[in-house]
């Protein structure tokens, strides 16, 4: 590899690190994203400049096809469907790494270093797991299949047997490399990916997406080692490390271990998803009544959730907050780490509506303020304010840190229906005497509420 290529790859690797740093804040996120994307483009172009490549037309056609698909998907995807797109793109990355490793295996023999063969086996297995698992997470989030855990008798036995078979075939590849064995290894990886995600339900799916993203990063890093490509090695390591860290942070935010999230359904501990609508009596009101509550408040805390994203009501909500602010009412947004369907979902959604970032308060920073709030306005959220996380040991979300909306003097829930949240359990806060429900589509209800506040 020429020195100039090594220097270019080094610069690209630095850009990847700077991009990750840029993504840590809203003011630098766009620049960081562009820096990372630019480095990736340069990394893809460089091999065409110094290598004598075969099948160049096919590679160019694949690049064009991928670029068109990526641009189209990024422009057309709705904010509510962002997690599904992330799952798909992540799965494609893992699958690509597995295919590259299979192709490289064809050129390896018994003379190849054992560590190289072990890295190849690792890439095939983990890449296949990431690909199949990501497809299942996509199907769950897109509601192409049930979001509830899917289990069957003997699942742990089948899963364990598949893991043992993978270990045996990996050892066989190291001792006697063969493409046929590699294909069997890939098929077992696909089966493990499906079996890994099927028992995961409801609100746990985004955490699995993060975990599979880390898997893909590790496979890309291993693939970079196989190919002798330092840039791939650095990029994959960054993705693997950040994905692992994010997975652990999200699991901590839910008050559960990663093992419980993955296998909790086998003993009834996974968040379930689905659930039937409750017919218990609740106190409801119209937009005019809620407007009066807000108008006489001095402190209001907004709790946004996935329902806000589905209704695309963030712009109307921001306008309502602006009107309240003009009247001297202090308003903040309380952001739960796992609100929505992916980390940062609410931050991005509200940033899209030009909400000042200073108004977005993380859970740990604002939880102590709820007791001083006159009104907690919950818009499309449910599980992240469900007191069952603190009071009901048998609940799937028990132990998950929640926003203390129940401590506010008045709680207003904007809900489409009485169906439970993504965890599939009732929210006792809905039935408390200080809670009022405003039923209807969040965007429609928010528009009516805004007009009612303006008319006061």
Residue positions annotated with a catalytic role = 383
Pair of tokens at residue 397: 């979300």
Please state, in angstroms and as integers, the Cα–Cα distance from residue 209 to each residue in 20, 297, 389, following that order. 18, 40, 23
Burial string for 70-109 (b: 16+ CB within 10 Å, else e) reads eeeeeeeeebbbbbbbbbbbbbbbbbbbbbbbbebbeebe
Name the phi and psi angles at 376, rounded to 5.
-105, 115
Name the phi and psi angles at 268, rounded to 5.
80, 20
Pair of tokens at residue 205: 């799916």
DSSP 263-305: HGGGGT-S-----PPP-S---B--HHHHHHHHHT-SEEEEEE-
Burial string for 153-185 (b: 16+ CB within 10 Å, else e) reads eebeeebeebeeebeebbebbbeebbeebbebb
* Interaxial angle between packed helices 287-295 and 442-455, expressed in degrees from 0 to 180 and rounded to the nearest 10: 60
**Three-state DSSP class for residue 330:** strand
Alpha helices for 142-154 (secondary structure H):
none
Please state, in angstroms and as integers, the Cα–Cα distance from residue 254 to each residue in 212, 262, 338, 398, following that order. 18, 13, 8, 9
Element (H, E) at 356: none
């Amino acid at each position: 590899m020429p020195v100039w290529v090594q220097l270019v790859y080094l610069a690209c690797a630095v850009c990847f690190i700077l991009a990750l740093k840029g993504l840590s804040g809203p003011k630098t996120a766009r620049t960081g994203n562009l820096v990372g994307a630019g480095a990736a483009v340069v990394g893809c172009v460089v091999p065409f400049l110094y290598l004598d490549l075969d099948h160049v037309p096919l590679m160019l056609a694949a690049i064009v096809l991928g670029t068109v698909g990526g641009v189209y998907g990024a422009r057309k995807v709705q904010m509510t469907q962002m997690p599904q797109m992330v799952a798909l793109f992540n799965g494609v990355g893992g699958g690509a790494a597995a295919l590259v490793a299979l192709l490289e295996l064809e050129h390896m023999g018994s003379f190849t270093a054992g560590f190289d063969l072990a890295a190849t086996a690792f890439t095939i297995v983990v890449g296949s797991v990431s690909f199949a698992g990501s497809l299942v997470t996509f199907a769950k989030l897109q509601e192409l299949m049930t979001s509830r855990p899917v289990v069957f008798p003997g699942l742990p036995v089948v899963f364990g047997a598949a893991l043992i078979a993978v270990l045996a075939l990996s050892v066989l590849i190291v001792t006697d490399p063969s493409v046929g064995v590699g294909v069997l290894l890939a098929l077992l990886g696909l089966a493990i990916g499906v079996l890994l995600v099927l028992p995961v339900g409801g609100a746990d799916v985004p955490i699995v997406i993060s975990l599979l993203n880390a898997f893909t990063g590790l496979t890309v890093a291993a693939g970079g080692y196989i190919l002798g490509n330092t840039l791939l090695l650095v990029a994959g390591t960054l993705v693997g490390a950040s994905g692992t860290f994010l997975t652990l942070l999200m699991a901590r935010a839910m008050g559960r271990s990663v093992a419980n999230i993955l296998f909790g359904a086998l003993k009834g501990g996974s968040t379930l998803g689905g659930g039937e609508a409750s017919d218990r009596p609740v106190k409801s009101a119209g937009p005019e009544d809620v407007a009066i509550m807000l108008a006489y408040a001095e402190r209001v805390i907004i709790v946004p959730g996935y329902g806000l994203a589905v209704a695309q009501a963030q712009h109307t909500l921001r306008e309502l907050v602006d009107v309240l602010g003009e009247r001297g009412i202090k308003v903040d947004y309380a952001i739960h780490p796992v609100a929505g369907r992916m980390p940062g979902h609410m931050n991005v959604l509200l940033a899209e509506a030009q909400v000042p970032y200073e108004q977005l308060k993380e859970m740990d920073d604002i939880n102590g303020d709820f007791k001083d709030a006159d009104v907690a306005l919950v818009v499309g959220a449910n599980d992240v304010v469900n007191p069952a996380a603190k009071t009901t040991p048998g609940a799937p979300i028990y132990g998950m840190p929640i926003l203390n909306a129940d401590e506010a003097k008045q709680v207003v829930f904007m809900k489409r229906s009485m169906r439970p949240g993504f965890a599939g359990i009732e929210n006792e806060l809905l039935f408390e005497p200080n809670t009022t429900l405003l039923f209807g589509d969040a965007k429609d209800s928010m528009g009516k509420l805004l007009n009612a506040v303006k008319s006061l």
